[in-house]
Amino acid sequence: MELLASAGADGPTPIVSLFWIALVAVIAPVVSRLLRGYLPDVVILLVAGAVLGPYVLGWADTGGGVDLVSELGLGMLFLLAGYELDPALLRGKSGRTAWLVWLVCLVFAFGIVTLATDRSTGTRIAVAIALTSTALGTLLPILKQAGIADSPLGRAVMTHGAVGELGPIVAMSVLLSSRDSMSALVTVLMFVIAAVLVGLIPVRMLDRMPDLGSALGRLDGGTSQLPVRGVVLLLLVLMVIAEEFDLDVVLGAFAAGMILRKLIAAGHPDVDASLEAIGYGLLIPVFFVVSGMGIDVSAVAGNPALWVWFVLTIAIARGLPVWLSERFVPHGLNLPTGRERVQLALYAATGLPIIVAVTQVATRTGLLSSEVASILVAAGATTVLVFPLVARLIGARGAEPVTPAHE
């Protein structure tokens, strides 16, 4: 403990910072499980990061490479999100409806922010994008734990969640770029072409050289772990390409996940279990704790009205259009009950990872102050804590009671 105390006096060393992060990463899922999942571990990680970080205790910071591990965690989070995304969800009438609803949400959110503030157009766009995201990667374990992932409600959440992740990522790359919108759009299209070419290379190699696939299979365990190393290389290649195009690395990570899904669907080595172990076991918890370190607790406590306003605006700007579309726009897979439609709206309005990514870009480019970014991230954490909990309670109230069997 003398080492930890001395480190705190002169600023924590990287190894001390990682010690606290690792300790929190171990405690968070245990606490979440003890609370029966009502408090998601991602919220615990964020809160712990805020407490451990420079704004409160100062026991950990992002220096000495901790921020690099966090950046890899961000990439792994969105790689896994891209991998989980079923392209079929984005097609068909329900998929087209979800895209239209998200665009309405974006315009609606921009209008609300415009009425509430006289900040620059770029600032209003950044806030609007953050307010209309859906944390699909965060919702997946919640849906599975509740046993509704394969139900009509679960599939509806997946559809709106897929669009609520992909749409903001593209919008962030186009609308928050230093270029004009047309140049940024062309840049994104060039990136898509580059990503497709990168994805074709391993597919063609494996198709034309069957022995390569069997060699990968022989090297997928032990000290080799070649398929996992290949996926990490794929992730870094796409992140580098995105960075070279002056786009956010989130777009590259998401594209890498979609390419990975294509490779595995084609019958090539299955590495998702190993990637989840690396991602959720190490890199992603670091990302969320480090994100929590960026939350200025005093700024949130000093402006609770803005915090509550952000939470309510997320519910209105994202949740309300989803509820209205499910109630009044027929697409063939509409949820039949009002209770399920309210649950869908609450799940769709649950957002955090995209909010963190948007605030990082916006603060880096001067569109948002660190204080407002802290409050916005805190609002995103609140949606993860409150909205799925309320949706779960609504679903529990609507469940048919089980009649005990008579002896």
Residues of the chain with pLDDT under 50: 1-8, 400-407
CB distance 246 to 187 below 8 Å: yes
Q: What is the pLDDT of residue 270?
A: 64
CB distance 361 to 172 below 8 Å: yes
What is d(CA 206, CA 385) in angstroms, rounded to the nearest whole number?
Answer: 44
Spatial CA neighbour of 227 closest among 265, 272, 196, 193: 272
Q: What is the pLDDT of residue 313?
A: 94
Q: What is the pLDDT of residue 268?
A: 56
What is the token pair recorded at 276? 């989840």
What is d(CA 130, CA 154) in angstroms, rounded to the nearest whole number?
Answer: 23
In this structure, what DSSP letter does residue 90 have? Answer: G
Q: What is the pLDDT of residue 212?
A: 56
What is the token pair recorded at 36? 């029966």
Domains within the chain, CATH numbers bracketed: 9-74+86-179+284-397 (1.20.1530.20)
| Nearest-10 Cα torsion for 185, 188, 193, 196 | -140
Spatial CA neighbour of 294 closest among 243, 386, 368: 368
CB proximity list for 59: less than 8 A, separation 6 or greater: 4, 8, 12, 16, 17, 20, 52
What is d(CA 97, CA 292) in angstroms, rounded to the nearest whole number?
Answer: 34
SS3 of 244-299: HCCCCHHHHHHHHHHHHHHHHHCCCCCCHHHHHHHHHHHHHHHHHHHHHHCCCHHH
Render pLDDT for 297-344 as a digit per residue (tens, 0 to 9): 888 888 899 999 999 999 999 999 999 998 888 887 788 888 889 999
Note the Cα 20 to chain centre separation in Å: 23
Note the Cα 329 to chain centre separation in Å: 27
Helix-helix angle 249-265:66-84, to 10 degrees: 40
Spatial CA neighbour of 135 closest among 375, 356, 374, 340: 356
